[in-house]
């Protein structure tokens, strides 16, 4: 329960910050362009907190459902406007002003992402060096010449200091159907270039885990079999396991490390395990029965609801720190935001034409889990999570879907071309289409969330 509450709290904080940033963009530009703002609301539904709103001031509202927000401006489409206030109405503004106000929300999301990345780059981002662990025999990567111990230094001339960099560059090139030219240093410090051809690109796009599809596993630091966190109500919790327990043996077999323990549990769904653990200097015997969980590839596997204890940072041999000075970080943060924005847009396009799996769409449950995980790791990881979600909000809101900011911007473009606003009938039809599209997207997102929880 504590884990769930932590995830929900992190999710509410993250969404609250990003919605505030987005709506503040609309609010700030509207005020600067002389439009009267009646209400600035974070959340929907019943107001929890409200202030202002007296003598024509803006009313500020914090509402019960933290999944959105809005800025209500004076507008003749929303109700009768006193004649003396007509110049302050949104609908009376020139089209360039309306365009600026509507586009300001997504723009502020991108600005926030740039600031988040700038802060991360100045502080320094610690990650894992892209060192290859096991490379499956006869896999795509193996046939290309990649071997265990290789260090990936660049892909298609883009440097890849961390595994995160490897993934982003891979995705970017895969979506353009480009071959992957991977420059590596082997165990003997010899430089090689290995190429993965374009013939595998469609297969890669439809897989949730590109590295696994290639047959690659990152080299992980050795992790002793020590429990980090226990999920309340899970098999480990029912067996009496505690955070900090060091696992010594299972059914008489010595547990060498965490990977050995995971493999042991996965092979025993529903079977009783006699477990010996060390806790606070003493030895205890526990009886553990892993729950049965369905895996799309491995079938039924054992699952106990426990995670490994992770050290504060990876060992020096696997650690990579990405850091820039304050001025250099500005340019790097702009480039990072641009790259992820383009990548997000490309991925959406590939999903639309069926070249990428819609399983990549996530809903609030998955986002809440990621929020909690990133927040538990540290401020830098939480900032990275906020930046990515902020970029996603910016990109999605610019799509020409009615009800979203991009839909309104599309209407304004039509107005510019034809010299008059779109008819009320056309706009109403667009709204119905927009509702249908958003309902479909939300249904897919919730389905994916539930499927991930079940599996």
164 is a catalytic site residue? no
Mean pLDDT on 162-166: 86
Closest CA to 186 of 156, 154, 149: 149
Lowest mean pLDDT among 40-44, 218-222, 395-399: 218-222
Q: What percent of the chain has pLDDT over 90?
A: 33
| pLDDT score at 304 | 92
The 10 Å Cβ neighbour count of residue 391 is 28
* pLDDT tens-digit series, residues 256-301: 999 899 999 999 999 999 999 999 889 999 999 999 887 766 678 8
Mean pLDDT across the chain, nearest whole number? 84
* pLDDT tens-digit series, residues 401-429: 888 899 889 989 988 888 888 887 887 88
* pLDDT tens-digit series, residues 25-40: 999 999 999 999 998 9
Alpha carbon separation from 173 to 62, 115, 198 (Å, rounded): 43, 26, 10
In CATH terms, are 125-220+311-322 and 227-310 the same topology? yes
- CA-CA-CA-CA torsion sign (102, 106, 110, 112): positive
Interatomic CA distance for residues 349 and 332, integer angstroms:
26
Q: pTM, whole model, 2 decimals?
A: 0.77
> For residue 75, with 0-12 CB atoms within 10 Å meaning exposed, 13-18 middle and 19 or more buried, which class applies?
middle
**Cβ-proximal residues to 340 (8 Å cutoff; 6+ apart), any chain:** 113, 168, 387, 388, 391
Interatomic CA distance for residues 318 and 332, integer angstroms:
23
Mean pLDDT on 89-96: 91
**Helix axes 364-377 and 424-454, enclosed angle (nearest 10):** 60
Taking 80 as the threshold, does the pLDDT of residue 46 lie above it? yes
* Token pair for 332: 């790097």
CB 160 within 8 A of CB 154: yes
The 10 Å Cβ neighbour count of residue 94 is 9
DSSP string, 398-451: TSS-TTSHHHHHHHHHHHHHHSSPPPHHHHHHHHHHHHHHHHHHHHHHHHHHHH
* pLDDT tens-digit series, residues 312-355: 666 777 788 888 999 999 999 999 999 889 888 887 877 777 66
> For residue 15, with 0-12 CB atoms within 10 Å meaning exposed, 13-18 middle and 19 or more buried, which class applies?
buried
Taking 90 as the threshold, does the pLDDT of residue 3 lie above it? no
1 — pLDDT class (breaks 50, 70, 90): very low
Domain formed by 227-310, architecture: Roll (2.30)
Give me the residue spans of the domains in the chain. 125-220+311-322, 227-310
Distance, C-alpha 46 to centroid of its chain? 29
Alpha carbon separation from 177 to 141, 167, 342, 347, 349 (Å, rounded): 17, 15, 15, 12, 13
Domain 125-220+311-322: state its class.
mainly beta
The 10 Å Cβ neighbour count of residue 311 is 9
* pLDDT tens-digit series, residues 188-244: 889 999 988 866 655 665 555 778 888 888 887 778 899 988 888 889 999 999 989
Phi-psi region at 189: left, alpha or beta (left = phi > 0; alpha = psi -120 to 50): left
| pLDDT score at 415 | 86
* Token pair for 246: 């060091």
Candidate list 23, 80, 85, 424, residue with the active-site label: 23
Taking 90 as the threshold, does the pLDDT of residue 114 lie above it? yes
* Token pair for 241: 């396991």
Longest dimension (CA), the chain: 86
């Amino acid at each position: 329960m504590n884990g769930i509450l932590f995830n929900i709290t992190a999710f509410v904080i993250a969404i609250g910050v990003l919605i505030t940033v987005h709506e503040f963009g609309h609010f700030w530009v509207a005020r600067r362009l002389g439009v009267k703002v009646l209400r600035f609301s974070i959340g929907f539904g019943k107001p929890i907190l409200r202030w202002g709103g007296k003598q024509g001031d803006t009313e500020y509202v914090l509402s019960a459902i933290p999944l959105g927000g809005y800025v209500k401006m004076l507008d003749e489409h929303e109700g009768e406007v006193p004649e003396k206030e007509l110049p302050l109405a949104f609908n009376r503004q020139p089209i360039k002003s309306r365009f600026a106000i509507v586009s300001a929300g997504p723009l502020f999301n991108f600005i926030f992402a740039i600031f988040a990345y700038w802060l991360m780059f100045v502080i320094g981002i610690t990650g894992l060096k892209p060192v290859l662990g096991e490379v499956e025999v006869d896999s795509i990567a193996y046939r290309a010449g990649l071997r265990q111990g290789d260090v990936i230094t660049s892909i298609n001339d883009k440097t890849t200091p961390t595994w995160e960099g490897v993934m982003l560059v891979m995705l970017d090139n895969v979506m353009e159907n480009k071959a992957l030219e991977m420059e590596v240093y082997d165990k003997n410090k010899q430089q090689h270039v290995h190429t993965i051809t374009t013939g595998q690109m469609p297969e890669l796009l439809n897989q949730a885990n590109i590295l696994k599809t290639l047959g690659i596993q990152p080299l992980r630091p050795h992790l002793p079999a020590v429990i980090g966190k226990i999920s309340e109500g899970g098999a480990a919790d029912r067996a009496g396991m505690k955070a900090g327990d060091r696992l010594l043996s299972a059914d008489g077999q010595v547990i060498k490390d965490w990977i050995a323990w995971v493999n042991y549990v996965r092979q025993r769904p529903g079977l009783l395990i006699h477990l010996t653990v060390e806790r606070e200097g003493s030895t205890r015997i526990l009886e553990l029965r892993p729950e049965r969980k369905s895996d799309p590839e491995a079938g039924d596997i054992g699952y106990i609801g426990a995670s490994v204890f992770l050290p504060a940072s990876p060992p020096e041999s696997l650690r990579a720190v990405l850091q820039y000075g304050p001025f250099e970080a500005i340019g790097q943060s702009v480039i990072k935001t641009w790259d992820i924005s383009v990548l997000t847009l490309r991925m959406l396009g590939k999903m639309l034409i069926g070249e990428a799996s819609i399983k990549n769409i996530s809903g609030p449950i998955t986002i809440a889990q990621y929020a909690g995980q990133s927040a538990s790791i540290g401020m830098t990881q939480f900032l990275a999570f906020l930046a990515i979600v902020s970029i996603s909000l910016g990109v999605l809101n610019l799509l020409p879907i009615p009800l979203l900011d991009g839909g309104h911007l599309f209407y304004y473009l039509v107005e510019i071309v034809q010299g008059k606003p779109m008819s009320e009938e056309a706009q109403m039809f667009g709204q119905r289409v927009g509702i249908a599209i958003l309902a479909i997207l939300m249904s897919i997102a919730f389905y994916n969330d539930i499927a991930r929880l079940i599996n």
